[in-house]
Amino acid sequence: RSFAAESSRAYQNGPLEPSFYREPSSAFELEDSSLPSQYGRILDWFTVDLEGEHSAMDGRILEEHTEYVVYAIHRILDQYKESHLARSKDGVRSTGNLPSSVMLVGHSMGGFVARAALVHPGLRKSAVETILTLSSPHQYPPVALQPSLGHFFSHVNEEWRNGYKKGVSHTSSPKLSNVVVVSISGGIHDYQIRSRLAALDGIVPSTHGFMVGSSSVKNVWLSMEHQSILWCNQLAVQVE
């Protein structure tokens, strides 16, 4: 909700001054840099409710969550199409293009589920091209209580490695060639997901993704506990 609220604020009031987003190297750069007075389009936010299931305990639960997220992505995209057709029948002129993809934002295990959805065989091509994860484990589960959890992590990560490799024929682009991943870790105050778990090394090439600690983000000087990364406004403003 914090990210959605900040997104709405940015759309209604326009972006903050340039110096808030980056530190210019010279006075000329500050004067020369420009931001629009208002963003051109507002983001629609949708939330996946997994009903508090303990996904960090069992790989089979993660698989079910992945299936649900894939279904939700397709339903959201279809809903835009259905709305467009209904407006056309009523003679209402639609502006802009229909969305063909969504961005995924996932917290904790939700970030890994987002990545799992990208390599799910049922996901439509190019349905997702951007993923942002917050305090999410990517290398391996924080606690592997069930063998299925470790197996699922290994399977998904191997699919991601293969997704950036070119085929033998070199005639087609890699499956994940258009996908970008940003992983934000909470830092030293996140005792549940350490930064080494949130790293993307060996999974996503540096050309398509990176991991950054929250306190390394511009104008964010706090490391964050596992839950507070969701609502800390210092980070929310920068992400949006």
Of the residues 108, 135, 195, 214, which is catalytic?
A: 108
Residue type, 78: D
Under 8 Å between Cβ of 39 and 11: yes
Spatial contact of 181 and 208, defined as CB atoms under 8 Å apart: yes
- Dihedral of alpha carbons 158, 161, 167, 172, sign: positive
Nearest Cα neighbor of 1 from 53, 51, 46, 68 is 46
Q: Which DSSP state fits 61?
A: H
Query: Both tokens of residue 102?
Result: 């969504």
For the chain, percent helix, then strand, then coil, each to nearest 5?
A: 40, 10, 50
Residue type, 71: Y
Whether 108 sits among the annotated catalytic residues: the reply is: yes
Q: How far is CA 36 from CA 5, 33, 172, 204, in A?
A: 20, 10, 38, 32
DSSP three-state, residue 104: strand
3 state SS of 42: coil
Q: Give the Cα separation of 117 and 23 in Å (integer).
A: 36
Cite the active site residues: 108
